[in-house]
Structure 1
């Protein structure tokens, strides 16, 4: 008589590991943008990137035999999330920076997203943000502000273009609403097909934008192909799957607070890769942001 071996417990990757990898990947996107800027025009690069991601994720979805949505609502929810989180957000940020918005101001606007997400979590999702989490979010924002202080200080307030600033704010709002939409409408959808459909939606927005506003500049150099490959497979494919997994696991305010770590990590990457200076106030900001995210991420 044989005795079946006891089933081994299902292993899951700790949330702290997933969060850390996500922050590293998300932060590297800003470094990638700087790396490819001399080689390609922004709208053209974004359109090629998003279409490439849609193709890759669709191929992976078919390869793994994952189930595509069986009703219109599933397709609609993923398309809406993709247009907001990948299309409007990425296009808005790239366009605003290309049209003269200082990168420090753009990063500061992006750091407002966790605050807006926390404020809207209750009316949209019924999630109550506790006072300790609010304290963590405020601390995280303060840390991000310290990291960005030198760049913000270098920007001439009188020279900040109004329309690009509005576009960047709109992109941040779109990312926030997209995150809330994903949590409320597609939080339990299968990750692979949901991500693939999101990038289809983003591509449907990015391609016309590139045709209308882009110049088509794409020098096809080796650095550009390398940057494109990184942005497709790492920034986008891995990044969106991790983000969707985090949204599925936790409350959106806690997930959004991870974005406070993006400016510090991006600054550290720029220091290592491009030789940018890292002032003491920025180092202090890194520590403050880390503490804030740790507090905001606690359940």
Structure 2
């Protein structure tokens, strides 16, 4: 694993780098929990607008305090903004919008769970990554495991064509966004780069939200907790980890980590909300872990 240089990355490879993938999965999996708490009190684009604005301000302050380097060309700024709109805007907007349409979280997770396979299919032509035979087996096992985990929670109510379309948009956003990040933004400073990404996404949301939503918010304790959690833990902690992992590893291998998100989310829902975990789900979790291990295997 290559170590990124501190001047360009803003973060050096930590000694606990072997734990970073597990920490990323744990943090990313809390996104559905935060959405479940916050979306009943705000419309999806309004929710995301507040999230983007708050995180952009926090990271701007951090960048100024640490005197982090900014991109030196508008071309680089443009690439960073496009990657941000894909990862933060289209992906999150699609997921939140589908959930707001009434689509079950398990159904959304299953569609977005196709990301590792989609990433693997296009990573070769785009980035020149070679996928080995056992890795394809791992992708297949991971998909089967994810399907088993969410199968018990699937409902015939898929939220209608709009819900399915929004989930598909989220799938494309996170898949293309991670590849775009790897191809064009690998050397961006994580502090200033993500500041620009959240600012660009927030600007688009600020234009779109007033036309599509009422922008009313019910400021309950649940909503405030969800907003703070998603800002700090997801939009800073998990995103920094994701971009660092993308920089250090093959995009297709990093994408396989997303297979672990539905099983971990199901465990969290079981612990927090008492949602049932049957034998099929437990078996699917084990299958998913084996599949991801094959994809991450070296040699």
TM-score (norm 2): 0.92
Are 1:91 and 1:206, in contact at CA under 8 Å, matched by a contact in 2?
A: no
Encode CA deviations 1:244-269: one digit per residue, 9 max, x unaligned: 00000100011000000000000000
Residue pairs, 1:1-299, within 5 angstroms: 12-152=14-154, 155-156=155-156, 160-299=159-298
1:38 counterpart SS class: helix
- For 1:49 and 1:64, locate their aligned partners in 2 and report how far apart those are by CA, in whole Å: 22
Separation in 1, partners of 2:235, 2:169: 21
Contact kept, 8 Å, 1:121 with 1:252, in 2: the verdict is yes
Moved more, 132-141 or 95-104: 95-104
- Secondary structure in 2 matching 1:37: helix
- Report what 1:5 is aligned to: none
Q: Tell me: CA distance 1:94–1:11, structure 2 relative to 1, closer, same or farther (3 Å).
A: closer
Q: Distance in 1 between matches of 2:169 and 2:178?
A: 14
Instruction: Tell me how far 1:68 sits from its aligned partner.
Output: 0.5
Q: Is the 8 A contact 1:118 1:253 kept in 2?
A: yes
Which segments of 5 or more consecutive residues in structure 2 lack a partner in the other structure?
Answer: 1-11
State the 1:47 CA deviation: 1.0
Partner SS, residue 101 of structure 1: coil
Check the 8 A contact 2:98/2:159 in 1, yes or no.
no
Larger Rg computed on CA atoms: 1
Residues 151 and 11 (structure 1), Cα distance of their counterparts in 2 relative to 1, 3 Å cut? closer
Give per-residue Cα distances to partners, 1:227-251, cap 9 Å, x unaligned: 1111101111111100000000100
Which deviations, in whole Å up to 9, do the C-alpha atoms of 1:148-176 show, x marking residues without a partner? 11122xx116x651132122112211211
How big is each residue's C-alpha offset from its partner over 1:183-209, in whole Å with a ceiling of 9 and x where there is no partner?
011112211111111111211222223
8 A Cα contact 2:39 2:47, kept in partner: no
